Structure 1
Amino acid sequence: PNYDGSLKEPEVLPAAIPNLLVNGASGIAVGMATSLPPHNLKEVVDALVAMIDNPGITLEEVMRHLPGPDFPTGGRLSKRGIREAYATGRGSLKVRAKVRIEEKGQRPMLVVTEIPYQVNKASLIAQIAALVKAKKIEDIVALRDESDRQGLRIAIELKRGANPQVVLNQLYKHTALQTSFTVNLLAIAHGEPKVLPLLELMRHYLDHRKEVVRRRSLFELKKAQERAHVLEGLLIALDHIDEVIALIRASEDATQARQGLMERFGLSEVQAQAILDMRLQRLVALEREKLLEEYRGLMEEIARLKAILEDETRLWGEVKRDLLRVKEKYGDERRTLITEFEESFNPEDLIEDEPMVITLTAQGFLKRFPLESYRAQGRGGKGLVAGKTKEEDQATEVFVADAHDDLLLFTNRGRVYRLKVYDLPEMGRQARGVHVKTLLPLTEEEEVAALLSVRGLDGEGYLVFATERGLVKRTALREYQNLGAAGLIAIRLQEGDRLIGVALSDPEDEALLATQEGQAIRFPLEEVRATGRDSQGVVGIRFKRPGDRVVSLVTVKPGEMVDLLSVSTRGYGKRTPLAEYPLQGRGGMGVITYAVSMKVGRLAALLKVRGTEDLLVLSKKGLAIRTPVAEIRQYSRATAGVKVMNLPEDDEVASAFAVEEEK
């Protein structure tokens, strides 16, 4: 009954389809909430038909017909999480916009054609614009809503040279281009709220639909039987029409006529009344044939309905036919693409893997900035300002690595730490940087002595260490696989010695050690026995002059056709073929590699080059120059070379590095 008991109202409407699944539902009550995603009508019907045909069907079999939700706004849906949501009735699904990458002139462009369910387009555009304004996404130069009656279209124009996939990942992470849809299949079952797994929800609907069809069949059977009963009376009357007319004419009123018909022909009151209500046109022969045809049809329908009610298989067949009729009339194709994609992003998905310049000062200030900040200059240029340093602070390292590389930082205490290059603060060329102790748990007297970039620590190679006093050590890279935030012991250093370089090598490689007084030795690394992390190494070079020290470590392949590029503290440089350096045993004094003098200064760095690179030189006062290696002439070992960088009298070269020439 309704609120005042005057009427009866249905508790459940006889839905032809499971509205909960097809249209979805959401709502919040006291202490509970429901959230059902919409599904494709054709797929839902196919799944229900499969369950009718196979009552013991499994979830995997159902999901062949119903693979997942289908949102009216389209988009892309992650496969991950769908099965769990269907199996338990709870879960979370990731939905993404459909985005394609186009080109507009020389610029890449992201075009959004479908957005996630329940996302407002205007709010999404405002969200993207806010990120651009806040400089959280820097590669977007234009944002337009180009939607029309043909459909949705949001155009996101990028800078020339920008990586559209990285920008797209940033948008997925920070905007509603990727959203989560919470699944909570809470429904009223038998008068009580209950979280229903998909199979149970479908079974409830089919049981409901079976009962609806059973009641409908009973109702239709009753109506058909009532009509057939009336038709039987009419046909009897038509067979005895003259007697019926005479009986009616002889009666004083309708009640007497009705009673007379019932007694004379054995009719029921309903049949007798139908005869009295019959119009005279029914007396013609054609009308009698129509009544007879209707009666035969009703008897067939009665037989059909009785068969449905008496046979459960036929009852389920009727349920199936009803579903298929709805599918045929209203079904359409799926709009949401179900696919596999990474639902969460690590920083490497959001950061361009571009070459970065890493600088370290004597006082431990560290920073990175894009290599493209330096344009190539001619040999002998004055350079650009690479960073502001205090008068007493000087740059000690310039290093080039890709943003996704692992940066290994080796300290004066012989420990090693690891940072991702992208974890270093990105700053402008002239910025000072941040102190390394804000990034690493260094002790008070510990400082970074050497840097090395690697792409992962699970390779088969070796790390080669060189110290200022000429010691070398070789340790397998895999011994550093467990390198965590607390760091690991990398090398045991003698008192007063310091690490000057670390390189990645293969067992067959050769090493070159170069000293500030211009000596260099080349020897096979197989002469340096591989040892564990907590060892100090063996003698690699002996010094010819007291006070000399090693400044560079270089590794080469046997027979490699390369040059060794020498750079002096006063900015002079030259290239010398590797073949001019004889292969010797380790522990000797080596050969001359650079003609040291007051004019050119001492040797600052020895680098391996092929002639296609650029040379990047950094001074202690923060000046930097980038110049093509090919512009630096070849000279023999015992020479000083040509001016590479013009330096003030109170400045000198701190570090040098060879970088791949930009295409």
Structure 2
Amino acid sequence: MSRRRGGGGGGTTPLFAGRIEPIGLEEEIQRSYLDYAMSVIVGRALPDVRDGLKPVHRRILWSMLESGLRPDRPHRKSVSAVGEVLKKYHPHGDQSVYDALVRMAQDWSLRAPLIDGHGNFGSIDGDPPAAYRYTEARLAPMALELLRDIEAETVDFVPNFDGYEQEPLVLPSRFPNLLVNGAGGIAVGMATNIPPHNLGEVIDAVAHFLDNPESTPEELMRFVKGPDFPTGAVVMGKQGIKDMYETGRGSIKVRAVAHIEEGSAGRSKIVVTELPYQVNKARVAEKIAELANAGRLKEVADVRDESNKEGMRLVIYTKRAANPQVVLNQLYRHTQLQDNFGAIMLALVDNVPRTLNLAELVGYYVDHQVDVVTRRTQYELRRAEERDHIVQGLLIALQHLDEVIKIIRGSKDADEARTKLMTTFKLSEIQANHILDMPLRRLTRLAREELEQEHKDLLAKIKRLKTLLKDPKKIRALIKEELLEIRARFANARRTQLKADVGDLDVEDLIAEEDVVITVSRAGYVKRQPIDAFKRQGRGGKGVIGANLKEEDVIKHVFTTTTHHWMLFFTSKGKVYRVKVHEIPESGRTARGTYAANLVGVAGDERVNAVIDLKEYDEGRLLLFATRGGMVKKTVLPEYDSPRTGLAAINLKEGDELVDVLLTDGKDDVILVSRKGQAIRFRESLVRPMGRQTAGVIGMRLAEDDEVIALGVVSEGEELISVTQQGYGKRSPLKDYPVKGRGGKGVIGHTLTRKTGLLAGAFVGTKDQDLFTISSSGKVQRVPASDIRRVGRASQGVRTMRVEEGETVVAIAPVIMQMDED
């Protein structure tokens, strides 16, 4: 054993006096760890279910009340409040106390702030508050509601850490602070994370519970709709809320509030005005910039924080022609503009941590309020009875005033006077002492009428208080009345919106469904424009510039669809690529568009020869293919429902190319039109369904140097509309085209001359629709089909579009829906 030298005799004394007991290390560690864990759970990390406060917050509020820092008094330096808390109640670090005080003053942290701060108390960007020697604080009005009636012996007090002061074990909490302001904390082996709620909704739920003590969480959810965060934002979906209120745990999806503003030069601005709870705005901006620089948010050009005293304004600038709704959806996916709040409604119940559902949490609060109001009533009853006892003594003294004065003056001391008063007038010691404590001048000035009225009022009060204590229903009714008074004074509108869940964030839920025009050039440039960008023109007009293309490029395909549809791109090599229409960047009328290779990965040696729009992969629909060499094939649509890019759509023979693809139901007639004006009509049923990677069968036998340029499905009442390279068009009745067997040469569908040139395109349609004609220079003209003359199938037609010298018509396409004139 270690020993030390004595003071002078040369002897030695033991360092430790007494007996040393050996103990097991494992046992000691377990015991010490459990002691530590319980100390953290009860003394630091978890709130009490009754007042929703941890010890440090409770001590701050009580100390500030003791120091007179009420809402109607001037602010005082925060260092003063912190110092008082440290000195009297909380012997820990000053910074932890100041941090707790600061948070209670932040209106972005608490739904109902409990401290009224003056100075720099931090920001939602995570900026730290100023040091406590610079800031000032006082209690907020809501804090007084937590402390109200504490002087009426409504809660128990215990000695502080050194025994010199008394501190409350819990506050009266005249409003349900745990739900209103929420709580968060990490203890040992457990954590709590209770979201803030709307004061008015919570009080309504408590009021309902007071009347209906057997209320279930589902019933209370009629009043408490969900969390109400101080930062606003939007809660998506109800399942997480329902789980939290029924089981005490739930994951709540919270999304920022954002809107889109139009910028200059085709750029849009996504403006964020509200963030999810406890999300740091500065970190969000940094994350967006980081993802943009890394290429994960390709359409984000810049991000700026334009917030000011008017409110939050985080602005994300998109690149030119980007779809801002798609960008916003990506921001929700990849940043904290959408966040999950993991709710755990854990609180201390009789110093034991418990996970509570909504009804249990409200129930424990109501039990606390019943106890508080009962104790307050008992205190008021005792004080009223004590006062009435004194008033009765004063009335007796007034009735015998001269004799009372004579006894007081004739007594040697107070003891003699007290004894004589008690004996003569049957007074109690308390009554006699009170009379003796009053100067004679005050005793003579007492007004009998006032004392008699006070006695009468006190008797009525005593009766009322006794009646109240005998009837628990009246206690609960009084609690409800007082809660509704608080609601009337402090409740405000809900800040957090509640919306239906969007599931897996389908982009289409964020994008308006709009009719658009899609153009595809021969070189593979794809462009999306609003349909009203094209003007309706009469027959013979010269059109407007629809695309500013290179000299060697021409627009090859034009069609109309909606932003919610799938676009299937079929290439000359027989492959299919798919993309949503809204993912195609919107471009100006003269812009070239987006290269297909960048949009869907089309290879450099492929051309997009057919495009169809598709709402869904219906099992009852088929795809009908036609190749330049006259081959046709039919395949059920679902075989092409694959996320793979560049899926093989048809097996082409060497030298052949895919011309067109149509959606069919498999029951109509099919018509093929060749470059040299031949057309063949046959039953679609003659083409049996085949697999995806098959070549098909012969649909039309072609003359030398001829090729198929159009495929159509014949419908009753429709016509074949065709236009030549020099702009000559016509409408011919489909009944003029006899049904033949598959594989024939067909009949004349359009008489061609040197003046008309070869056919540029053809399609099956009606006179009630419009068509686009496209020239080799990129001019687009929209023409009503009714302006094109209806003639026999063997005629050459009339001029539909005037082409400049050196120009030719290279493609035509129907406008699927009617559009009003610009």
Q: 1:20 aligns with which of 178, 183, 193?
A: 178
User: What does 1:329-478 align with in structure 2 at a 5 Å threshold?
Assistant: 329-334=489-494, 336-340=496-500, 342=502, 345-349=505-509, 353=514, 354-359=516-521, 366-371=524-529, 386=549, 398=557, 400=559, 402=561, 403-410=563-570, 418-423=578-583, 429=592, 433-434=596-597, 438=601, 450-458=610-618, 460-477=620-637
CA contact (8 A) 1:92 1:180 kept: yes
1:84 correspondence with 2:243 = yes
1:379 shift after superposition: 5.2
1:144 shift after superposition: 9.1
Q: Aligned AA for 2:738?
A: L
3-state SS, counterpart of residue 167 of structure 2: coil
1:43 correspondence with 2:198 = no
Paired position in structure 2 for 1:197: 357
Kindly, what percent of the aligned residue pairs are identical? 36
1:583 correspondence with 2:732 = no
Paired position in structure 2 for 1:313: 473
CA contact (8 A) 1:112 1:155 kept: yes
Change (3 A) 1:431 1:51: closer
1:565 shift after superposition: 1.5
1:520 shift after superposition: 1.0
Spell out, residue by residue over 1:402-459, the C-alpha distance to the aligned partner (whole angstroms, 9 max, x if none): 454323345788775543345568896287552799469xxx9999775433232227
Paired position in structure 2 for 1:8: 166
CA contact (8 A) 2:275 2:281 kept: no
Q: Aligned AA for 2:223?
A: H
CA contact (8 A) 1:93 1:183 kept: no
CA contact (8 A) 2:194 2:344 kept: yes
Q: Distance in 2 between matches of 1:419 and 1:162?
A: 15
Change (3 A) 1:280 1:447: same
1:541 correspondence with 2:700 = yes
CA contact (8 A) 2:369 2:479 kept: yes
Paired position in structure 1 for 2:458: 298
1:511 shift after superposition: 2.3
Q: 1:485 aligns with which of 625, 638, 644?
A: 644
Paired position in structure 2 for 1:626: 780
Change (3 A) 1:310 1:558: same
1:15 shift after superposition: 1.6
1:607 correspondence with 2:763 = yes
Change (3 A) 1:138 1:596: farther
Q: Distance in 2 between matches of 1:75 and 1:558?
A: 55
Q: Aligned AA for 1:59?
A: P
CA contact (8 A) 1:381 1:646 kept: no
Q: 2:374 aligns with which of 214, 236, 240?
A: 214
Paired position in structure 1 for 2:386: 226
1:206 shift after superposition: 1.5
1:38 shift after superposition: 3.8
CA contact (8 A) 2:270 2:324 kept: no
Paired position in structure 1 for 2:411: 251
CA contact (8 A) 2:727 2:808 kept: no
User: What does 1:31-180 align with in structure 2 at a 5 Å threshold?
Assistant: 35-71=193-229, 77-78=235-236, 80=238, 81-87=240-246, 88-94=248-254, 97=257, 115=274, 136=299
1:525 shift after superposition: 3.5
Spell out, residue by residue over 1:276-312, the C-alpha distance to the aligned partner (whole angstroms, 9 max, x if none): 2345467679833433332333333333333433443
Q: Aligned AA for 2:679?
A: A
Change (3 A) 1:289 1:600: closer
Q: Aligned AA for 1:355?
A: V
Change (3 A) 1:266 1:77: same
Paired position in structure 1 for 2:721: 564
CA contact (8 A) 2:728 2:756 kept: no
| CA RMSD between the two structures | 5.5
Change (3 A) 1:606 1:78: same
Q: 1:518 aligns with which of 673, 677, 680?
A: 677
CA contact (8 A) 1:95 1:178 kept: yes
1:513 shift after superposition: 0.6
1:542 shift after superposition: 3.3
Spell out, residue by residue over 1:148-204, the C-alpha distance to the aligned partner (whole angstroms, 9 max, x if none): 7xx999999999x99998898789889998776664544444335555433232222
Change (3 A) 1:291 1:279: farther
Q: Aligned AA for 2:392?
A: E
Q: Distance in 2 between matches of 1:37 and 1:425?
A: 40
Q: Aligned AA for 2:370?
A: K
Change (3 A) 1:349 1:128: farther
Spell out, residue by residue over 1:456-484, the C-alpha distance to the aligned partner (whole angstroms, 9 max, x if none): 2227544322234434344554x447544
Q: Distance in 2 between matches of 1:168 and 1:225?
A: 69
3-state SS, counterpart of residue 326 of structure 1: helix
CA contact (8 A) 1:405 1:454 kept: yes
Paired position in structure 1 for 2:448: 288
3-state SS, counterpart of residue 586 of structure 1: coil
Q: Distance in 2 between matches of 1:335 and 1:640?
A: 67
CA contact (8 A) 1:247 1:257 kept: yes
Residue ranges of structure 2 left out of the alignment (5+ in a row): 1-158
Residue ranges of structure 1 left out of the alignment (5+ in a row): none
Q: Distance in 2 between matches of 1:82 and 1:458?
A: 36
Change (3 A) 1:21 1:258: same
Aligned length: 633
1:57 shift after superposition: 0.6
Change (3 A) 1:506 1:578: farther
- RCO higher in 1 or 2 (8 Å CA, sep ≥ 6)? 1
1:260 correspondence with 2:260 = no
Q: Aligned AA for 1:616?
A: I
Q: Distance in 2 between matches of 1:422 and 1:108?
A: 16
3-state SS, counterpart of residue 317 of structure 1: helix
